[in-house]
């Protein structure tokens, strides 16, 4: 019987009591272990891992709730405990007594340990070194101070983005919203009615923002919304108190200082120490290679768009807020379909059942609704994962946008698979998206991008759920190199392009008919529409991130000037000078992607290469390949390097050709 998180009983007092208790118990155990005379796995590592796992669960719950239903009380709690947690972990990383214990286990007991246990010991020793265990005492104090500051700054950055996004809303009349599809208008109307406002309420949350940028013929409104969106969390925002500008320089300076303390030249070198890629130069070379191959395609994309806007509306100078609008119009013109027409075929319940069906074919899994699991919001649905007739994990889905919820989409762990004290704890995943809410009796309709997002996050969830590793620190996605962790998610996305699969996930909202072959052929023809522009955009972010963490000098250089320089070097689309994209680039300033944003492209090479083997395969052969993928990659956690897993599946090292093929770049 799994003990699910009692979301229906959790309040601030519950969280506070739990954290205080966990911190005290953990500290007591560490003190006991320091004095322990026996250096064995059972007496040192096993109790320490079990204790830290329980502490992480309690702290992870606070982070999860902040991302899905933020509140002032949660923030206060987070601010109270963050320094305590950070200090505990920094002290742990510099604990000489524990370091000696682990080193002795490596020297004496290592050969008798299991493969999993050996990997944990190797990771522990590596992490001790990266926590400054070998530094002089005054440098250790410096390292501690840096870690504390970085934790606080990352939290502040994330809060500012969320608050800046939430702080903007305005009422609009039906005339101002000319061209916006009916389902989006219904959403705006419902949001206005909820607050007893006249007309329609629009915000900067994606389900509200994007339809206006894509469909609204009111150029002035598009410009107003674009400006509000790209100046979020900056000095130019309508809520300048949420400005992240000053935090960026501090974060970069502290990361550089930390890296140099540990003997690296820059933060990118430190970041790559645990990744598949070897050096910043190798990664930059890979990114520039892709940029060179994509540049002429992007120029053609832009030239075509400019010519079209001039032809139909006499727009001689294409502005940033015109790009999504004319891109959507040109797509309709070239391929005779609109994203909105396509959306009518993707009601969320149908997409869900088709996705579950695919997962069943690939991995012999069944998702069964479980109404016993307590949830944090009425939007959330919960399922058991069944394999071979028994429960092998559980999953929470929280799929709709709302205030107080972080934008974007992600998968996170609610529980890692582990064998604690001999009892099997099953993996539990959170899948979080920000789709449009159902309005009235109409289900949520997904755009084709939304469908791919759902498949993507489900790929991460399967990596987490299908693990057979029993040690929580290396089970599921834990311990997997950061630039390989997107392989299973990007691999899943590609199934959304398979017509045999699409037939099972589509049913027109009114007629119930599946996506017609004729419409799919148009979608397929449009698959590489503007792929040059899209590729360069991702590469721009990746190169910018790597430069900020390698050649950039936080003491003398300006982060906006650096972005301008990268854009002039590789981009064909240069946004207005007021664009403050970096100020809300939470992936690298508050998430785990610092000097690692390139990993989306790096992992895409792996994912395309693997998917190429599955492309067009069905029936028994599909299940056979799915089982092989599960056995060689998805079940392996962080026990061995991803390159070994990849070679075990493919029989060779990765090649770039499949990525170029699926990107339409020859």
Alpha-carbon torsion, ordered 567, 570, 572, 575, to 10 deg: -10
Tokens at 198, concatenated = 């006249």
Sort 8 into a burial class: Cβ within 10 Å, 0-12 / 13-18 / 19+: exposed
- DSSP bridge partners of 592: none
CA distances from 599 to 93, 259, 292, 545, 666 (A): 27, 20, 18, 11, 22
| Residue with the two structure tokens 């992240």 | 244
Q: How many helices (H) and strands (E) does the chain have?
A: 26, 9
Decide if 357 contacts 365 (C-beta within 8 A). Answer: no
- DSSP bridge partners of 382: 396
Rounded Cα–Cα distance for residues 268 and 547 (Å): 8
Number of residues assigned to the chain:
666
> Choosing from 124, 176, 328, 457, which is the catalytic residue?
457
What SS3 class is residue 386? strand
Rounded Cα–Cα distance for residues 373 and 75 (Å): 26
What SS3 class is residue 94? coil
Decide if 648 contacts 632 (C-beta within 8 A). Answer: yes
| Residue with the two structure tokens 């149908």 | 350
Alpha carbon 175 to its chain's center: 37
Rounded Cα–Cα distance for residues 319 and 604 (Å): 31
- Start-to-end CA span in the chain (Å): 53
Query: CA nearest 365: which of 623, 571, 142?
Result: 623
Residue 457 annotated to the active site: yes
Rounded Cα–Cα distance for residues 389 and 368 (Å): 11
Query: CA nearest 55: which of 332, 363, 345, 420?
Result: 420
Query: CA nearest 492: which of 523, 530, 452?
Result: 452
CA atoms within 13 A of residue 235's CA, in its CB half-sphere: 6
Rounded Cα–Cα distance for residues 278 and 287 (Å): 14
- Interhelix angle 619-629/599-614, rounded to 10 degrees, is 140
440 Cβ contact partners less than 8 Å away, ≥ 6 residues apart: 186
Tokens at 407, concatenated = 């934008």
Decide if 212 contacts 180 (C-beta within 8 A). Answer: yes
Query: CA nearest 594: which of 129, 251, 161?
Result: 251
Strand 428-435 with 390-400, pairing: parallel
Enzyme catalytic residues: 457
């Amino acid at each position: 019987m799994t003990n699910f998180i009692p979301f229906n009983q959790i309040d601030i007092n519950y969280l506070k009591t739990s954290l205080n208790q966990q911190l005290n118990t953990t500290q007591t155990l560490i003190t006991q272990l320091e004095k322990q005379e026996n250096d064995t796995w059972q007496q040192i590592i096993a109790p320490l891992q079990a204790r830290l796992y329980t502490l992480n669960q309690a702290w992870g719950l606070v982070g999860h709730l902040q991302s899905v239903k933020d509140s002032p009380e949660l923030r206060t709690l987070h601010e109270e405990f963050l320094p305590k947690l950070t200090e505990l972990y920094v002290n742990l990383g510099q604990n000489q007594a524990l370091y000696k214990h682990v080193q002795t286990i490596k020297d004496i007991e290592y050969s008798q340990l299991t493969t999993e246990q050996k990997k944990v010991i190797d990771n522990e020793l590596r992490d001790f070194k990266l926590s400054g265990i070998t530094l002089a005492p005054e440098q250790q104090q410096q390292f501690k101070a840096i870690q504390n500051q970085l934790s606080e700054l990352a939290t502040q950055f994330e809060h500012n983005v969320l608050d800046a996004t939430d702080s903007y809303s305005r009422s609009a009349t039906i005339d101002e919203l000319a061209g916006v599809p009916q389902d989006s208008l219904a959403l705006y109307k419902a949001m206005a009615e909820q607050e007893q406002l006249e007309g329609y309420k629009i915000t900067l949350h994606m389900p509200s923002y994007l339809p206006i940028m894509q469909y609204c013929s009111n150029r002035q409104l598009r410009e107003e919304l674009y400006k509000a969106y790209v100046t979020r969390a900056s000095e130019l925002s309508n809520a300048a108190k949420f400005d992240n500008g000053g935090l960026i320089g501090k974060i970069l300076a502290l990361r550089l200082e930390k890296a140099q303390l540990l003997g690296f030249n820059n933060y990118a070198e430190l970041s790559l120490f645990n990744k598949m890629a070897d050096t910043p130069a190798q990664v930059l070379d890979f990114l520039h290679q892709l940029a060179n191959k994509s540049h002429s395609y992007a120029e053609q994309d832009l030239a075509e768009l400019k010519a079209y806007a001039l032809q139909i509306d006499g727009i001689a100078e294409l502005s940033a807020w015109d790009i999504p609008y004319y891109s959507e119009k040109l797509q309709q013109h070239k391929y005779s379909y609109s994203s909105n027409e396509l959306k009518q075929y993707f009601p969320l319940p149908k997409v869900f059942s088709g996705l579950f069906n695919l997962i069943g074919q690939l991995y012999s899994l069944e998702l069964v609704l479980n109404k016993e699991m307590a949830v944090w919001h009425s939007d959330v649905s919960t399922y058991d994962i069944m394999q071979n007739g028994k429960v092998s994990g559980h999953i929470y889905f929280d799929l709709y946008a709302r205030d107080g919820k972080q934008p974007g989409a992600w998968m996170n762990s609610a529980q890692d698979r582990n064998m604690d004290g001999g009892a099997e704890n099953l993996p539990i995943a959170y899948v979080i998206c920000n789709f449009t809410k159902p309005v009235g009796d109409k289900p949520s309709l997904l755009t084709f991008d939304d469908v791919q997002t759902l498949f993507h996050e489900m790929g991460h969830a399967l990596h987490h759920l299908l693990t057979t590793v029993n040690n929580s620190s290396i089970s599921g996605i834990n311990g997997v190199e950061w630039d390989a962790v997107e392989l299973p998610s990007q691999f899943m996305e590609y199934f959304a392009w398979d017509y045999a699969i699409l037939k099972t996930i589509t049913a027109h909202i009114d007629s119930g008919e599946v996506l017609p072959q004729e419409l799919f052929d148009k979608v397929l023809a449009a698959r590489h529409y503007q792929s040059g522009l899209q590729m360069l955009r991702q590469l721009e972010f990746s190169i910018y991130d790597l430069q900020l963490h390698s050649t950039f000098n936080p003491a003398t250089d300006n982060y906006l000037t650096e972005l301008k320089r990268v854009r002039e070097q590789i981009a064909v689309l240069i946004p207005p000078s007021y664009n403050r994209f970096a100020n809300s680039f939470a992936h690298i300033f508050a998430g785990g992607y610092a000097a690692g944003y390139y990993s989306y492209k790096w992992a895409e090479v792996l994912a395309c290469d693997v998917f190429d083997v599955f492309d067009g395969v069905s029936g028994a052969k599909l299940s056979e390949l799915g089982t092989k993928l599960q056995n060689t990659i998805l079940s392996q956690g962080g026990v061995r390097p991803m390159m070994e897993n990849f070679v075990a599946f493919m029989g060779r090292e990765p090649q770039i050709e499949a990525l170029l093929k699926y990107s339409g770049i020859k």
